[in-house]
Amino acid sequence: MSQPNEPVTKLGMAKHDDGTLKLDGQSMLASLGGVWGILESAVPGTAYAVSFALTENVFISVYAAGALALVFIIAQIIRKRPLAQPIYGMLGIGLAAYLTLRNGSETSHARDFFLPGFFTNIVYFAAILLSIAIRWPLVGVLVGVFSDGVQWRKDRHLVRRYSLVTSIWVALFGLRLLVEVPLYVANAVVLLGFVKLVMGVPLYALSAWFTWLSVRPLLRRAE
């Protein structure tokens, strides 16, 4: 986990003691909520897909996902760790359960368990795209928090570069929607669960790494 003097952004970047920015395994892991955060985000949805593949019963599948989400909350209480992330996860599971079971146990609604994730991706996709459109690219804003504030906006070259790098995240959320929505329409519940797992943390980490490689040469100008 990151140390208190090393604030972490959503892109996994943190500060060294000398004030320079870094992105390493520790800061990346911290930005994901640590090992527990990764498990909390991946396990319930995977359990739902696996349970549905084995039983084709939405009640059992939703119960499996909800029970595991509750386990993470209890574990965090025992470990005396912050509860915000697991509670947020449980609320997400609750919404997914409502959408799935709103008409009883009809398997035709099994795919709706994944609808909240679509809404999240749409919001992020739209917000990040908007940040580029109004010339306040998200990556530039986040780097500025750790370095030169908003001074980078006075340099058109930097605005263009940060916009290009921010488009990595537009592509991330757009790609998720491009792949997952057709699976939702096709009612491919099990495959959708597997794809969401693969395009979750691994794709996030890859995007963060490419972002870091892209902005690192610019940081020498900003620091």
- Kindly tell me the sign of the dihedral angle through the C-alpha atoms of 53, 124, 198, 179: positive
What are the beta bridge partners of residue 15?
21
Residue 195 above 50 pLDDT?
A: yes
Q: Can you tell me the mean pLDDT for 174-189?
A: 95
Q: Can you tell me the mean pLDDT for 35-64?
A: 89
Residue 61 above 50 pLDDT?
A: yes
Whole-Å CA distances, 120 to 18, 27, 162: 36, 24, 23
Percent of the residues in the chain that have a pLDDT greater than 70, as a whole number: 82
Specify the 3-state DSSP secondary structure of 15: strand
Across 1-10, 23-32, 137-146, the highest mean pLDDT is recorded for 137-146
In contact, 36 and 176? CB cutoff 8 Å: no
Q: What is the DSSP string of 105-141?
A: S-GGGGGGGGHHHHHHHHHHHHHHHHHHHTT--HHHH
Confidence of residue 173 (pLDDT cuts 50, 70, 90): very high
Confidence of residue 7 (pLDDT cuts 50, 70, 90): very low
Residue 82 above 50 pLDDT?
A: yes
In contact, 190 and 152? CB cutoff 8 Å: no
- Condensed to tens digits (0 to 9), the pLDDT of residues 151-169 reads 888 889 989 999 999 999 9
Residue 93 above 80 pLDDT?
A: yes
Residue 51 above 80 pLDDT?
A: yes
Q: Which residue has the higher pLDDT, 168 or 3?
A: 168
Quote the tokens at residue 58. 């939405």
Residue 90, pLDDT score: 87
On average, the pLDDT of the chain sits at 83
Residue 8 above 50 pLDDT?
A: no
Residue 140 above 80 pLDDT?
A: yes
Residue 3, pLDDT score: 41
Residue 87, pLDDT score: 85
Residue 96 above 50 pLDDT?
A: yes
Q: Can you tell me the mean pLDDT for 101-108?
A: 79
